[in-house]
Structure 1
Amino acid sequence: MSTIKDVMRELAVLEDPKMREANERRGDDHGVNLTRLRTLAKRLKTQHELALQLWATGDTAARLLATLVCKPKAFSAAELDAMVRDIGSPKLLDWFIVNVVKPGRHAEELRPGWKDGDDLVGRAGWSLTTDRVVRNAEGLDLDALLDQIEEEMKQAPAQKQWAMNHCLAEIGIHHPECRRRAIGIGERLAVLMDYPASPGCTPPYAPVWIAEMVRRREEGA
């Protein structure tokens, strides 16, 4: 069993000032190569008490590691809610959702309240909602989701806006009955319309995103 001091020393060794500078331009406050962090996590294996200690440090790299060595089902809904509200890094938020919340027991319980939260909390809620849209939309009111996106996305904080736009696109891609409305909302709001996309990548502007992914799905059918 590794001690918190041992692990924090290892994380300090992995720190790269140039990587920290690059990450900070994206709103992330850590300088650890994530591939090397995953390698460390594989060696440590699951250690829930260590994960709690790592999270308690408040250090983003330590918290990223905590999401990989914790026991997701050991957290209560209240603990997860407190944790998500203490996250200030987009990368940590995404790892927390993927590695802790989704494999845990409380994602659907927490999703609606988070969806109405600000910035990163809102991003968490909409990320979970998008997962439902794609994987298991039964019981979701897609029209109500589109109503909320149409009303709130244009003015939403950047991190939440990005997740809402992703949800809009996936509704249009996976639910043909909602496609025309989803495209129309995207065109009217024009969110991320001018966002630069790398060559070969689909732009995040929802109408183009929807059209391209539907085309690919139809060609692959």
Structure 2
Amino acid sequence: MADPTSLTDPLLTDVMAELGDLEDPRIRAVNERHGDDHGVNLTQLRTVAKRLKAQPELARRLWATGDTAARLLAVLICRPRAYAREELDAMLREARTPKVQDWLVTYLVKKSPRAEDLRLVWFADPDPVVASAGWALTTERVRKRPDGLDLGGLLDTIEAEMKGAPERLQWAMNECLGTIGIEFPDHRKRAIAIGERLEVLKDYPTPPGCTSPYVPLWIDEIVRRRSEPA
């Protein structure tokens, strides 16, 4: 599991050994069905991160091992402001498992002052995995800082491209579509209509008590909850 350089790095060696001890073949088997290649319980991983606290240099050394569990731990103990735009761009492009990509964007890039620059770079990238990160950052802006965004233009792009997009990019575009419909009543009718016409994730199996990712149902459910008396 460990990178050869860890042999001269006692702290890294200890942490990698601890991650190795947490490896569970049953968890790995489940994760591999979703495209991930680690067998560490994420609650236990967070416990390790809580104990280590922020350690930017250790985070970089963990990332450099290439090991998925180590990279997940790295993004939990990093300092987002310590990373240049070019470094974050390179990290995303070399992170090919879904969980590492998700955590990298959620815990590092979204908290970085370089987030908007990267959103613009990634949004139209020809690599659908990279583009999905750009859409995730766009959804974050729709939710928190929509000023300056062309929401109608985003809906145009989603309507034209989401149906045929690769899975990860399709999920990211679908989330943006739903978020626009939830947050902006003026665009809600069109967002629902796009969802109904494209039928993306319409048949996605949704456990009881959970909200369907199918946009028309998702928008209706969240709007209904928000309208209920507190």
TM-score by length of 2: 0.92
Q: Deviations over 1:135-183 (max 9, x none)?
A: 1111111011101111111111101100110110010011011111111
Q: 1:90·1:120 contact (CA, 8 Å) conserved in 2?
A: no
Structure 1 distance, partners of 2:156, 2:61, is 42
Q: For 1:77-88, what aligned pairs fall within 5 Å after superposition? A: 77-88=85-96
Aligned residue among 107, 112, 118 for 2:120: 112
Structure 1 distance, partners of 2:128, 2:39, is 23
Structure 1 distance, partners of 2:107, 2:10, is 21
TM-score by length of 1: 0.96
Q: For 1:108-147, what aligned pairs fall within 5 Å after superposition? A: 108-117=116-125, 118-147=127-156
Q: By how many angstroms is 1:119 displaced?
A: 3.0
Answering whether residue 40 of structure 2 is matched by residue 32 of structure 1, we say yes
Structure 2 distance, partners of 1:144, 1:2, is 52
Q: For 1:55-70, what aligned pairs fall within 5 Å after superposition? A: 55-70=63-78
Answering whether residue 219 of structure 2 is matched by residue 210 of structure 1, we say yes
Q: By how many angstroms is 1:2 displaced?
A: 6.1
Structure 2 distance, partners of 1:31, 1:119, is 26
Q: By how many angstroms is 1:201 displaced?
A: 1.2
Q: For 1:87-98, what aligned pairs fall within 5 Å after superposition? A: 87-98=95-106
Q: 1:87·1:120 contact (CA, 8 Å) conserved in 2?
A: no
Q: Percent same amino acid at aligned positions?
A: 60
Structure 1 distance, partners of 2:141, 2:49, is 28
Q: By how many angstroms is 1:120 displaced?
A: 2.3
Answering whether residue 84 of structure 2 is matched by residue 102 of structure 1, we say no
Instruction: Name the aligned partner's letter for residue 131 of structure 2.
Output: G
> Secondary structure, in 3 states, of the residue corresponding to 1:198?
coil
- The number of residue pairs the alignment matches comes to 221
In structure 1, stretches of 5+ residues that fail to align are none
Answering whether residue 13 of structure 2 is matched by residue 8 of structure 1, we say no
Instruction: Name the aligned partner's letter for residue 206 of structure 2.
Output: A
Q: Deviations over 1:2-27 (max 9, x none)?
A: 62111111110011011000001111
Structure 2 distance, partners of 1:172, 1:128, is 17
Q: 1:2·1:44 contact (CA, 8 Å) conserved in 2?
A: no
Structure 1 distance, partners of 2:57, 2:128, is 29
Structure 1 distance, partners of 2:21, 2:32, is 19
Answering whether residue 162 of structure 2 is matched by residue 153 of structure 1, we say yes
What CA RMSD, in Å, does the superposition of the two structures yield over aligned residues?
A: 1.3
